[in-house]
Amino acid sequence: MKPPRQAAALRDIRSLMRPHLVTAEPYEGVEPPEVLAQQAGIPEERLVKLNGNENPYGPSPKVAAALGRYRRYHLYPDPQQRHLRQMLAEYAGTSPDRVVAGAGSDELIDLLLRLFVGPGEGVIDCPPTFAMYATFIHLLGARLVLAPRDEAFGLDLRGIEEGARRGAKLVFVASPNNPTGNTTSEGTVRRLLELGLVVVVDEAYFEFTNQTVAPLVPHHANLVVLRTFSKWAGLAGLRLGYGIMDPTVAERLLAIKAPYNVNLAAEVAVEASLEDRDLLMSRVKAIVQARDQLREELARIPGVATFPSTANFLLCRMPHGKGRWVYQELARRGIFVRDFNTPLLQDCFRTSVGLPEENQALVKGLESIFEQGG
Ligand SMILES: Cc1ncc(COP(=O)(O)O)c(C=O)c1O
């Protein structure tokens, strides 16, 4: 006779899974171009992909050349990330013992939670914000403590204080915040640091704002700043993020991460990107200018409201009850934005700032949608 556990497993393998993961909702990542093009029934070349806050100019041309030249892909990367951490530290104006790299900053969000938070312990999330925080908190079996932002998307300091008082171990603050585009001031971050919990300031869009709290890191062991090469350097597909933190935290993250978490192609691409910093920053500047122009043009369309943004995307609100419809009409025209329409972001979508012609396609698309039936 089979032992009962095995018999149950044969009936339903889910009975062997951790109960909270049997029903866990996946993070809704952005679909790749070929899937979107198929959905819209158009060739990929006609797709206007504005749903991922990706860099429309792509990586520096030096990246492809360096990847082609590199000869050591058959070897494992350095588990201590020595060369990579050195390069990142120089770029960020800090020392290598304060830097850890991840397969995207996503991986560092997960690792930080695993380092500081146990199942059932509280983590403060400030919605509307980057949904990966809540996803990882849930996967860990930790407790999601919500401190929703106010109408202007500023932080609810009282709510965060209350969460900390009740024992929450960590708070995530994206600055600029995704999807709202606003930043959190250094003064506010200083107040959070005084609460004694771990404060993770996610500066994924730093290069678009030039506002950072990284200089506070040497004075506060409970501050971690996250950055990425996905946005300013156009390396989203190669997955390279990094954190700036207290050396003790860095040492522990290096100890608990998978040994070869960052692949060698990403490391080669970082080196080539840093060598081509001027070109990449001139593109960042172009994106910032295009963002402000796009905002002006969208504001001229009756019914469309936009929020100020310091990043490479804009949050837009459609007339009451029309958000979903506008999203679908845009998609039908091959224009893909990120649909939110949650209670905190009713009738909203977020659009990346694309190439000038992509931004024009969005403006024209919205104009035609509202002429037709707005
Ligand atoms: C606030 C924020 N943090 C982190 C990330 C993830 O970045 P990465 O590609 O480095 O994992 C994003 C991506 O959209 C983001 O908006």
Q: How many CA atoms lie within 13 A of 315 on its CB side?
A: 23
Give the pLDDT band of residue 9 (cuts 50, 70, 90).
low
Q: How many CA atoms lie within 13 A of 325 on its CB side?
A: 10
Order of all β-strands in the sheet with 338-339? 305-306, 313-317, 348-352, 338-339
Q: Tokens for 230?
A: 């996905």
CATH 3.90.1150.10 region(s) of the chain?
28-57+278-373
pTM for the full model?
0.96
Residue ranges lining ligand 1, Cβ < 6 Å? 53, 104-106, 130, 174, 178, 202, 204, 228, 230, 236, 241
CATH 3.40.640.10 region(s) of the chain?
62-275
Ligand 1 atom closest to Cα of residue 179: 16
Mutation pick for ligand 1 pocket among 54, 228, 310 (CB with most ligand atoms within 8 Å): 228
User: Is pLDDT of 8 > 80?
Assistant: no
Ligand 1 atom closest to Cα of residue 109: 4
Q: Which CATH class is domain 62-275?
A: alpha beta
Cα 15 to averaged position of ligand 1 atoms, centre (Å): 33
Cα 60 to averaged position of ligand 1 atoms, centre (Å): 19
Q: What is the pLDDT of residues 187-208, one digit of tens each?
A: 999 999 999 999 999 999 999 9
Cα 106 to averaged position of ligand 1 atoms, centre (Å): 6
Ligand 1 atom closest to Cα of residue 52: 14
Q: Tokens for 303?
A: 């019914």
Cα 14 to averaged position of ligand 1 atoms, centre (Å): 31
Q: Which CATH class is domain 28-57+278-373?
A: alpha beta
Whether the Cβ atoms of residue 203 and residue 227 lie closer than 8 Å to each other:
yes
Q: How confident is the model at residue 115, as a pLDDT? A: 98
Q: Measured on CA atoms in the order 276, 240, 253, 126, is the torsion positive or negative?
A: positive
Cα 226 to averaged position of ligand 1 atoms, centre (Å): 9
Q: What is the pLDDT of residues 20-70, one digit of tens each?
A: 999 998 888 888 899 999 988 999 999 999 999 999 999 999 999 999 999
